[in-house]
Structure 1
Amino acid sequence: MVERRVGAGQGAVWEALTDLRGMERVLSGVTRLEVLTEGAFGVGTRWRETRRMFGKEATEEMWVTASVPPERYVVEAESHGSHYVSEWDLLAAGPSATTVRMTFSATATSGVAGLLATLLGGLGERAVRKGIAKDLDDVASAVEAHGF
């Protein structure tokens, strides 16, 4: 779990985190994002997100499995023999502050890649925590400096 206090209300933070078409402007790690579904962000929304990781670009397809605006949503993905779950909680910390808590988990589902991910869990966990912290810093910068 990674947590960050943001100097903006829940609504603005929610908008920054769920505006998929504007995500490349908010998250510096995202190099490309393709929305695959129509309509507003919610359960069933799917997209392909490309990020630069470990010096290479990686593209993952993700989908929303739970959404309670402006408080919480869950995103899942399957890749390289693992199932990923990202849980985002936006906790009101006053009228102009929100604590964003992101919890990430990965479960090996099959294959050598999944087994390898499990064995290298600690090393991967540190890299993931660092990436999440950077994303939360980017979100804070976007909403505090530019508003949403």
Structure 2
Amino acid sequence: MPLLFTIEERFDASPEDVFRLATDIDAFGDWMPNFVRVEKLTGAVVGKGAMWRETRKMFGKESTELFEVTAAEPGRRLDLFVDGQKGTTGRGAYRFRYVFEPEGAGTLLKMEGEIAGMGWFMETLGRLFIGSFKKAVHGDLKAMKTHLERRRAS
């Protein structure tokens, strides 16, 4: 049974600005915690079918995963798929949907995550650690928010 979770973060920026930063692969190193490098595999534009390999430091070691955009509506929605068999984790299917909702003069960013295909034991164990995973992912959204709002203030 897949692990499901939702995270929300409010931004003092338009949905278009938040989407633009979330899809600016060249800027990942400016705001992403534990960022090591990114390798674009399909060009500069992040739209449906775009792929990149992202490496971050996790628990003191480098971890690389392959990301694919499965849907993109600028300023509205971004869906990502990570095939764990093609990365460091070696298993699982990870799906992330980012929904950019206007909220007053800002944006409510909702991120829905699904982790599946880990096997019965790992999915059972994963239920114990989903809180830590959510906290790490929420940390990414907070870092993106801080970067965007600092950039807008300067």
Return the match for 1:122 from 114, 127, 143: 127
Q: Is the 8 A contact 1:102 1:132 kept in 2?
A: no
Give identity over the alignment, percent. 29
2:110 matches 1:105 = no
User: With structure 2 as the length reference, what TM-score do the two structures score?
Assistant: 0.86
Which deviates more, 66-75 or 32-41? 32-41
Which deviates more, 117-126 or 11-20? 117-126
User: Could you say which residue in structure 2 is the equivalent of 1:60?
Assistant: 65
Return the match for 2:93 from 77, 83, 88: 83
After the TM superposition, list the runs of 4 or more consecutive aligned residues in structure 1 that deviate by more than 6 angstroms.
Answer: none
2:51 matches 1:42 = no
Alpha-carbon deviation of 1:57? 1.5
Alpha-carbon deviation of 1:115? 3.9
Alpha-carbon deviation of 1:30? 2.0
Cα–Cα, structure 1 residues 50 and 16, in superposed 2: closer, same or farther, change >3 Å?
Answer: same
User: Could you say which residue in structure 1 is the equivalent of 2:75?
Assistant: 70
Structure 1 residues 21-32: aligned runs within 5 Å: 21-32=26-37
Alpha-carbon deviation of 1:24? 1.0
User: Could you say which residue in structure 2 is the equivalent of 1:136?
Assistant: 141
RMSD between aligned residues: 1.6
State the number of aligned residues: 143
Q: Is the 8 A contact 1:49 1:60 kept in 2?
A: yes
User: 1:19 is matched by which residue type in structure 2?
Assistant: D
Q: Which runs of 5+ in 2 are unaligned?
A: 1-5, 85-89
SS at the partner of 1:57?
strand
User: 2:60 is matched by which residue type in structure 1?
Assistant: G
Alpha-carbon deviation of 1:55? 2.4
Which deviates more, 2-11 or 30-39? 30-39
1:128 and 1:12 map into 2 onto residues whose CA distance is: 26
2:53 and 2:65 map into 1 onto residues whose CA distance is: 6
User: With structure 1 as the length reference, what TM-score do the two structures score?
Assistant: 0.89
User: 1:123 is matched by which residue type in structure 2?
Assistant: L
